[in-house]
Chain A
Amino acid sequence: DVVLTQTPPTLSATIGQSVSISCRSSQSLLHSNGNTYLHWLLQRPGQSPQLLIYSVSRLESGVPNRFSGSGSGTDFTLKISGVEAEDLGVYYCVQGTHAPWTFGGGTKLELK
């Protein structure tokens, strides 16, 4: 199975600070159809996960544009340009290129 390694496991930020989360895959996530199925989820405390970004860099409808995704192949990054209080929670990368789906271990974003 594909292993996704997220770093850092915990991120402390102040409101307004920009932060980045890395997700590295054990193999390329470029599908034979040319798409890369690497997505980012946010799980706020006590809530179910929600989709933020899909296919590396496409912002899900309703998600603020302070969130952005980038990367290719095996290295991907989620950036938050100006953290807000509602952004706190655990971020997961997830890949759907290779069966089965696998998730990164999560990055907990907390207030400094």
Chain B
Amino acid sequence: AVQLVESGGGLVQPKESLKISCAASGFTFSNAAMYWVRQAPGKGLEWVARIRTKPNNYATYYADSVKGRFTISRDDSKSMVYLQMDNLKTEDTAMYYCTAATTGNPWGQGVMVTVSS
């Protein structure tokens, strides 16, 4: 079965860093663009970052709100996608979901990131 499992969330202080991960299975990971989408408590969905596939040079894209602070990466050999988050702000507090541009558009269960002093 297609599955995405996020990990690595937690509580951090403003200006600190955190790296979250997403393990994929059940589909050809190397063929799928991968995304991170977040949802602040009680709010709607916000796209955060995207990484394309090897034929597309692993091109990356970011929302303006995180550009210069977040870095998305992937390891096709491990079917993993990552989000390195630096200089975190309180407004980055959210549930972070990874999702794949593949058949069925699977979503993970999400990982909570809380930025608070």
Q: Does B104 contact A (CB under 8 A)?
A: yes
B-side interface mostly: strand
Pair B107/A100 contact, Cβ less than 8 Å: no
In the complex, which residues of chain B have a beta carbon less than 8 angstroms from the beta carbon of A50?
107
Pair B104/A99 contact, Cβ less than 8 Å: no
A interface, how many residues as a size bin? 20 to 34
CB under 8 Å from chain B, chain A span 81-102: 92, 94, 96, 99-102
A-side interface mostly: loop
Q: How far is the CB of B67 from chain A (nearest CB, A)?
A: 11
Using a Cβ–Cβ cut-off of 8 Å, how many residues does chain B contribute to the interface with A? 18
At the interface with chain A, which of B42-50, B73-81, B84-92? B42-50
Q: Does A103 contact B (CB under 8 A)?
A: yes
CB under 8 Å from chain B, chain A span 57-112: 60-61, 92, 94, 96, 99-106
In the complex, which residues of chain B have a beta carbon less than 8 angstroms from the beta carbon of A51?
104-105
Q: Does B70 contact A (CB under 8 A)?
A: no
Distance A49 CA – B101 CA, assembled complex (angstroms): 14
Interface centre among B47, B61, B97, B108 (most CB of A within 10 A): B47
Pair A92/B44 contact, Cβ less than 8 Å: yes
Distance A103 CA – B104 CA, assembled complex (angstroms): 18
In the complex, which residues of chain B have a beta carbon less than 8 angstroms from the beta carbon of A39?
105
Q: State whether A101 and B47 are in contact (beta carbons under 8 Å apart), knowing that A48-B97, A49-B97 are contacts in the complex.
A: yes
Pair A48/B109 contact, Cβ less than 8 Å: yes
